[in-house]
Chains A and B, each alone.
Chain A
Amino acid sequence: MLTRRIIACLDVSAGRVVKGVQFVDLVDAGDPAALAMRHAAGGADEIVFLDITATHEKRALLLDAVRRAADQIFIPLTVGGGIRSLEDAMLVFDAGADKVSVNSAALSRPELITEIGSRFGEQAVVVAIDGRRNSGSPESAEVYVNGGRKATGLGVLEWARQAEARGAGEILLTSMDSDGTRNGFDCELTAAVSATVQIPVIASGGAGNVQHFADVFTLGSADAALAASIFHFGISDARTMKEELAAFGLPMRLPC
């Protein structure tokens, strides 16, 4: 059976991990490649590097980290943040990424999705959507850019539909209402997006405990969920979390 995926996300700035799991026994706990290896060994199904500064000058540091990670981990690696053109994407793929995640650049120029998809395959393009609905219905949720600061006027469901039509391989949906709250994912919004598109939906934002993951996989129909700060809540690795989720009856890959 196809399992639900737990994806470890590392926020990277100037080539260093600024948020995410801290392993006391790592010599260099800020090295994205070392952390990616640890997550892979710990049972994560995929790794995401999110370049949160993504300035031109610091790009080389990220690419170096991608290169070193790709040499040592043999599970899918996605890189997002600052992918504004096909050229940006090519650099990241050349460094060894399997997928790129595009966000605001795809909103301002949706052809970017198609351009990357035709060169590297649709499976390699993840469209990241930051949505906010305040207390409205999922249908009223709006797409935000600039880290959730600027409204676009575009509906989340409409943009998800368009992204799929342009050739997105997956949707990474972050709820700006839930993000940082630790009160759980926005299951209603996730379920609405999941019902709107045929492609897989990765849920993000709001995880505080293992039950939240169980909820977003069942109530939210998410195909995958992003785990970042969850590992701070006394859970040492993805394996432990997946064992608990498997006990809920959810299909999980439990590495040997």
Chain B
Amino acid sequence: MSAGKTVVIDYQTGNLNSACKSLRAVGADLLVTQRPEDLKNAARIVLPGVGHFASTERLMISGIGDALRERVAEGVPFLGICVGLQWLFAGSTEAPDTRGLGVFPEVCEHFPAGIKSPHVGWNSLELVRESRLLRDLPASPYVYFTHSYRAPVIYATAAVTNYGGAFSAVIETDNWMAVQFHPEKSGDVGLKILENFMQVSGC
């Protein structure tokens, strides 16, 4: 297992505790923080999240956004979970006034009318290209989702899930990694994904 602190960003989201528990279960040494300066010595960074896109507002205000961009550019692997994936985009129609980090220029949108929303439960991941996060997992593994907004399929999409059409379930490009589902609630498959993240070395 890789050495160094795994910094978990606390912006008071509901799944912070469960995200921390699952990361500890795969051997991570955690530092949970709200301060951008704590990102300085991070070996890897995790942004949990669940709920409303507007909750990410404080990430930009506090300076976490800028600090994160710097660190990831320097080679620190990042994992965003749920809203933590959506935040990497320019924004979301859920909170048009809240700016995302903008690593990807697209915008997240609500599921189309005519299907049940939120999308709650276990759905399968369909790999579209090689993925470090999904290494050594069975084909089309099931993971637990709970969300009403979704990210489009883009060049960085590593796996999609189909629900009212395909959306980005796993994103991976360089040191930016993110999942729409909740690995902390996805049983053994979820723990394996977190373990894989802990073994990614930055580039």
Q: Which residues of A contact B (CB under 8 A)?
A: 1-5, 40, 45, 70-71, 74-76, 93-94, 96, 98, 120-124, 169-170, 198-200, 223-224, 253, 255-256
Q: A70 vs B52: C-alpha distance in the bound complex, in angstroms? A: 23
Which residue of B is nearest A200, CB measured? B120
A to B CB contacts below 8 Å, 8 in the list? A2-B121, A70-B21, A94-B17, A96-B18, A96-B21, A121-B13, A170-B120, A200-B121
Which residue of A is nearest B161, CB measured? A2
Given A70-B18, A75-B187, A96-B17, does the pair A123, B120 have CB atoms closer than 8 Å? yes
Interface residues on B, range: 35 or more
For A123, list chain B residues within 8 Å (CB): 50-51, 118, 120, 146-147
For B17, list chain A residues within 8 Å (CB): 70, 93-94, 96
Given A71-B21, A74-B185, does the pair A2, B138 have CB atoms closer than 8 Å? no
A74 contact from B119, B120, B147, B187, Cβ within 8 A: B187
B188 contact from A3, A122, A256, Cβ within 8 A: A256
- Are the C-beta atoms of B122 and A45 separated by less than 8 Å? yes
A121 contact from B51, B116, B123, Cβ within 8 A: B51
Min Cβ gap B67→A in Å is: 25
- Are the C-beta atoms of B138 and A124 separated by less than 8 Å? no
For B144, list chain A residues within 8 Å (CB): 75-76
B14 contact from A1, A2, A74, A124, Cβ within 8 A: A124
Given A40-B187, A93-B14, A123-B146, does the pair A200, B124 have CB atoms closer than 8 Å? no
- Are the C-beta atoms of B142 and A169 separated by less than 8 Å? no
For B52, list chain A residues within 8 Å (CB): 121
Q: A153 vs B187: C-alpha distance in the bound complex, in angstroms? A: 42
Q: A155 vs B123: C-alpha distance in the bound complex, in angstroms? A: 33
8 smallest A-B Cβ distances: which pairs?
A121-B51, A123-B146, A253-B142, A253-B122, A120-B14, A2-B123, A3-B122, A200-B120
Q: A98 vs B124: C-alpha distance in the bound complex, in angstroms? A: 21
Q: A121 vs B118: C-alpha distance in the bound complex, in angstroms? A: 12
For A45, list chain B residues within 8 Å (CB): 121-122
Q: Cβ of B77 < 8 Å from any Cβ of A?
A: no
B116 contact from A98, A120, A124, A200, Cβ within 8 A: A200
For A199, list chain B residues within 8 Å (CB): 116-118, 120
The residues in B between 1 and 31 inclusive whose CB is less than 8 angstroms from any CB of A are 13-15, 17-18, 21-22, 25
Min Cβ gap A250→B in Å is: 13
- Are the C-beta atoms of A5 and B122 separated by less than 8 Å? yes
For B124, list chain A residues within 8 Å (CB): 1
Given A96-B18, A253-B142, does the pair A122, B118 have CB atoms closer than 8 Å? yes
For A124, list chain B residues within 8 Å (CB): 14, 50-51
Which residue of A is nearest B52, CB measured? A121
- Are the C-beta atoms of B121 and A1 separated by less than 8 Å? no
For A200, list chain B residues within 8 Å (CB): 116, 118, 120-121
Q: A223 vs B117: C-alpha distance in the bound complex, in angstroms? A: 11
Q: A4 vs B142: C-alpha distance in the bound complex, in angstroms? A: 12
Q: A253 vs B188: C-alpha distance in the bound complex, in angstroms? A: 13
Q: A74 vs B50: C-alpha distance in the bound complex, in angstroms? A: 16
The residues in B between 132 and 170 inclusive whose CB is less than 8 angstroms from any CB of A are 138, 142, 144, 146-148, 162-163
For B119, list chain A residues within 8 Å (CB): 2
Q: A96 vs B119: C-alpha distance in the bound complex, in angstroms? A: 22
